[in-house]
Amino acid sequence: MTIESVEPIAESMPRAAGAMPGPIHMEAARAAPATLKAGVLVVGAFSDGKLPSSSAAVDSASKGRLSALIKRGDLDEKAGSTLLLYDVPGTAAQRVLVVSLGPSGEFGDKAFRDAVSGAAKALGAGKAGNAAVTLAAIDVPGRSEAWRMQEASRLLADGLYRFAAPKTNGRKKPEQGARDIALIGSENGSEEIDAAVRRGAAIAEGMALAKDLGNLPANVCNPEYFAETARRLGKELPIEVEVLEREDMAKLGMHAALSVGRASDNPCKLVVMRYRGGGDGAKPIVLVGKGVTFDTGGISLKPGEDLDMMKYDMCGAAAVYGAIEAAAHLELPIDVVVLVNAVENMPGGNASRPGDVVTSMSGQTIEILNTDAEGRLGLCDVLTYAERFEPECVVDVATLTGACVIALGSVASGLYANDDALADELLACGAETGDRAWRMPLWDEYQEQLKSNFADMSNLGGRPAGSVTAACFLARFTKKYRWAHLDIAGTNAVAGDAKGATGRPVPMLAQFLLQRSARAAELRVAH
């Protein structure tokens, strides 16, 4: 990736395609752990000394090396902490990575995920190019082997993600860290287990796309870059791509959306992608993503502190790109439409002003009381546009409000829905993948806060319940279909030393598409 000192124009766009340093190869395997000739063999151990059977085999082959070091107290109690052992007798691997599973009495989803993520971290920093991982062979209460394999596959591949930052010095060699992973399951493996590993890897790839788009600077990842990335996906996968320009949006009457990008030299776009896996007459699941490639706040300019984080204001769009990529990759038997209004929110002589009134595509008028509440202005017109697809349901994903960060922090995304079954389904997909959401209310009482003297509504609900009133604004445009909204302002990225995109909520969305696919396949068999 070359970054130009001037704003890139479409023709000289620096390409960062494949920002990942080479793909990760993930495969299910069945073998006795001690006989595996890997660069590193990964085994789990409970901090109280209990060993799962896959690790007990390594322990006895090595004449008690594992149990000895646990007895000595070398293994931390925290699930995911690791110890690297060299030249372990009785094993064919060059190294053995021992991963703490925490106390045996507390083992569950969280400790399992922490253990796998801890292993991924060590594997990413280590010297071994290939690894044999036995963690998914360990029983997790209430979970199937397929669940363990899918989760382990995703968490390992995602944990090995690295953004190829354009640094002249200190850039990690692409070949560093494990790129080739064998996931050891129980001996009686099956096609179903292989498929679970492929699902996990495909979700991680979708997350990697979302992370790359998020981590790229806004002078590279601008609206045109979103259009280009869609066109690239369209070449690599069976995805139809259409890009609507400003003039097309004006013809559609999308004046709320158009008001956001007015002052930017990078014209906004509406990207439409469609994956057709559902066959004739399939109604699509429509995924809408907020794609503000940089949010200055516009004339209602944001304060300067941490303003660079506003390059992540397109992470909703990035997540729906990742989700459709995973769906197409896995050839799911459903239709998926992705809609993204890619736009930059800038101040300028042509910017919209607080107090401006615009007419949305739905015909409803909006008084723009704050140009920093731009996400809902873009989304409302895209949500109206979604009607023409006669959707099965619509899910929008947006870094919509700072208030959601105050309410839920970085643990859960805020979930809103006008349909209880859809909400429950998404919550369950969050629990299944550890990419959790928490349901918030859309009650009519909150609509009061959007009253305007000069238009049908204002785009500003005031400080109380800011995430709720933003969702209530969107609800005025989604009455014609089943709809859910995910406010990911707290979950999409982390600041500080580990600054970066998280790839959330790709796991939840991909799981949702997988479950809808399973349902579609069942219906097809029944007919």
Question: Does the protein bind ligand BES through residue 449 (CB under 6 A)?
Answer: no
One-letter identity of residue 92: A
484 binds, among ligand BES, Mn ion, Zn ion, none (CB under 5 to 8 A by kind): none
Spell out, one character per residue from 305 to 324, where the chain touches ligand BES: x when CB under 6 A holds, - when not: --------x-----------
**336 φ, ψ to 5°?**
-130, 130
CB of 249 to ligand BES, least distance (A): 19
Site for ligand BES in 249-308 (CB under 6 A): 295
Site for Zn ion in 369-388 (CB under 5 A): 375
Question: Does the protein bind ligand BES through residue 375 (CB under 6 A)?
Answer: yes
The verdict on whether 376 is a catalytic residue reads yes
Give the Cβ contact number of residue 370 at 10 Å: 15
The verdict on whether 311 is a catalytic residue reads no
Question: Does the protein bind Zn ion through residue 325 (CB under 5 A)?
Answer: no
Q: Minimal CB distance to ligand BES: which residue?
A: 402
Cβ atoms of 266 and 222 within 8 Å: the answer is: yes
3-state secondary structure 280-325: CCCCCEEEEEEEEEEECCCCCCCCCCCHHHHHHHHHHHHHHHHHHH
CA distance 259 to 357: 10
Q: Which is nearer to Mn ion, 151 or 295 (CB)?
A: 295
CB of 56 to ligand BES, least distance (A): 47
Residues 6+ apart with CB under 8 A from 296: 302, 307, 310, 345, 346, 347
Report which of 368, 358, 323, 527 is spatially closest to residue 460, judged by C-alpha positions.
Answer: 368
CB of 16 to Zn ion, least distance (A): 23
CA distance 480 to 390: 9
CB of 401 to ligand BES, least distance (A): 4
Stretch that binds Zn ion, among 59-67, 108-116, 149-157, 295-303 (CB under 5 A): 295-303
CB of 443 to ligand BES, least distance (A): 19
Stretch that binds ligand BES, among 246-254, 264-272, 349-357, 397-405 (CB under 6 A): 397-405
Residues 6+ apart with CB under 8 A from 258: 246, 249, 250, 268, 358
Spell out, one character per residue from 32 to 71, where the chain touches Zn ion: x when CB under 5 A holds, - when not: ----------------------------------------
Question: Does the protein bind Mn ion through residue 344 (CB under 5 A)?
Answer: no
Residues in the interface with ligand BES (CB under 6 A) total 16
Cα separation values, 355 from 164, 448, 471, Å: 43, 19, 21
Site for Mn ion in 348-377 (CB under 5 A): 372, 374
**270 φ, ψ to 5°?**
-115, 115
Q: Which of 211, 269, 376, 482 is catalytic?
A: 376
Using CA of residue 504, residue 505, residue 508, residue 510, what is the dihedral sign? negative
Cβ atoms of 492 and 316 within 8 Å: the answer is: yes
Q: Which is nearer to ligand BES, 211 or 329 (CB)?
A: 211
Q: Catalytic residue numbers?
A: 302, 376
For ligand BES, the binding residues (CB under 6 A) are: 295, 313, 370, 372-375, 399-403, 405, 460, 466, 489
